[in-house]
Amino acid sequence: MEDMILYNRLQFAFTITFHYLFPQLTMGLSLMIVYFKWKFLRTKNEDYNHASKFWMKIFALNFAMGVVTGIPMEFQFGTNWAKFSELTGSIIGQTLAMEGMFSFFLESSFLGMFIFGEKLLGHRLHFLTGLLVFIGSWASGFLIIATHSWMQHPVGYEILENGKFVLNNFGALFSNPWLWPSYLHNQAGSLITSSFFVAAIGAFYLLSNKHSRFGKMFVKTGVIFGVISSILVAFPTGDLAAKNVVKYQPVSFAAMEGIFETEKGGSEIILVGQPDMINRKIDNKIAVPNILSFLTYQRWDAEIKGLNEFDESLHPTNVPGLYYAYHIMVGLGTIFIGFMLLATFLLWKNRLYHTKWLLWVLMFMIPFPYIANTAGWYTAELGRQPWLVYNLMLMRDGISPTVSSGNTLFTLLGFVGLYMLLGLLFLLLVAKIVRKGPEAPIALKL
């Protein structure tokens, strides 16, 4: 049983981690594409129109990879987690079906129109198709996170005698107090990824003395979007999401922050340290007294319960993993704010385009928003475990009883090999688009 749970978790963790490399870029990039097209309509500067079409190529490639990697991931609900699907399908199936039927088709249909329909539609309708792609991509994220939020904080349900969950309040799915903070926090994180990506490509063009006009445009746009999204991901969205964890999953919050003992008179915030699960403490810690209490309750002396206050059966399955994932996310988020504030200052002083060391750093920052977003999702998932549905269904109660651990391990190895090839192909295609650069603008009457 333990092997089955482990391999099922590993397979889903790998496939969803790889899959989410793509939506986190497309969701943020869709907004920036709409921005470029809107700037073109306002200024009549063809460079903005060309920029929107250039980034839509990368968007389309990301979208295709997201579809290819997302379908096998959803199949695992029926293969690896069949019991979970059987018992909760009447609830989670509704939001997942809505995501596929509405937002996915909206996004994919108008994506084709944006790529191929500019001459036929004219610029104003072309802008509308880009706007609908943006709405579809963000609606997709909303419905997926609505599903995830129900698993974190189940609402509007009842359990029948046969153990099945049924929905008795459809509106509760979308008024779930867990949903909106999580969704806005996730979208801000996605916008960070796209902002750093756009700015990094701009920095590459400036450093290589190619497509310099577009390089300046991409750096400027990426930095402006980046500083706004980096602040938003911390406050208010990150603050609201953390307060939800405090309210609804206090044991997970204690593990995230590395609090083992309840501290009277206020809790410190741990900046650096390593969890020692044997002695129930944080080794080599660097902490600031009372800050965590103030950030959580706006009182310096507020009490926050430690892990030792809760029965060990309620503790997250992997406390060190949860602690490290959370601190990686928060640490990188803090670095993003500082870095983007510096870049914004130099942009304001008209020095950013000529500060080569900062352009080099900006270019090599591409992977770090991906790491931060992945760590954020790991924080949410590791914080919920050992529950599939928080406080209602354990992981061992949701796995498929007829799928052996050997089968799962074999297919996991197959996914690893196949996805590595897909990842390499994706990088080669993106590099080809970037190397070619923006194409010459096409004259078109408004």
Q: Average pLDDT for residues 326-336, to the nearest whole number?
A: 97
Taking the C-alpha atoms of residue 166 and residue 92, their distance in angstroms, rounded to an integer, is 10
Q: Which residues pair with 159 in a beta bridge?
A: 165
**What pLDDT score was predicted for residue 311?**
92
**What pLDDT score was predicted for residue 235?**
94
**What pLDDT score was predicted for residue 442?**
43
pLDDT greater at residue 103 or residue 181: 181
Which contacts qualify for 200-203: CB closer than 8 Å, 24 or more apart? 200/362, 200/363, 200/364, 200/365, 200/366, 201/434, 203/359, 203/360, 203/362, 203/363
Q: Judge whether 22 and 69 are in contact, CB under 8 Å.
A: yes
- Residue 268: pLDDT above 50? yes
- Residue 444: pLDDT above 70? no
DSSP 352: G
**What pLDDT score was predicted for residue 1?**
60
| Highest averaged pLDDT of the listed ranges 72-81, 331-340, 398-407 | 331-340
**What pLDDT score was predicted for residue 446?**
37
Give the count of alpha carbons within 13 A of 401, CB side only.
Answer: 3
pLDDT greater at residue 416 or residue 441: 416
Give the 3-state secondary structure of residue 364. helix
Q: Average pLDDT for residues 441-445, to the nearest whole number?
A: 41
Q: Backbone phi, then psi, for 318, in 5-degree steps?
A: -130, 85
pLDDT (tens digit, 9 = 90+) per residue, 354-366?
999 999 999 999 9
Q: Which residues pair with 269 in a beta bridge?
A: 288
Q: Average pLDDT for residues 44-63, to the nearest whole number?
A: 95
pLDDT (tens digit, 9 = 90+) per residue, 12-21?
999 999 999 9
- Residue 47 pLDDT class (50, 70, 90 cuts): very high
**What pLDDT score was predicted for residue 230?**
97
* % of the chain beyond a pLDDT of 70: 98
**What pLDDT score was predicted for residue 382?**
96
pLDDT (tens digit, 9 = 90+) per residue, 143-193?
999 999 999 999 999 999 999 999 999 999 999 999 999 999 999 999 999
**What pLDDT score was predicted for residue 337?**
98
- Residue 441: pLDDT above 70? no
Tokens of 99: 């995501």
What average pLDDT is seen over the chain?
A: 94
pLDDT (tens digit, 9 = 90+) per residue, 384-431?
999 999 999 999 999 998 888 889 999 999 999 999 999 999 999 999
- Residue 4 pLDDT class (50, 70, 90 cuts): confident
**What pLDDT score was predicted for residue 297?**
92
Q: Average pLDDT for residues 237-249, to the nearest whole number?
A: 96
Say which amino acid occupies 38. W
Single pTM value for the model? 0.95
Nearest of 221, 235, 95, 212 to residue 151 by alpha carbon: 95
Please say whether the dihedral angle defined by the alpha carbons of residues 289, 294, 296 and 302, taken in this order, is positive or negative: positive
- Residue 445: pLDDT above 60? no
Q: Average pLDDT for residues 27-42, to the nearest whole number?
A: 97
E strand or H helix at 270: strand 269-276
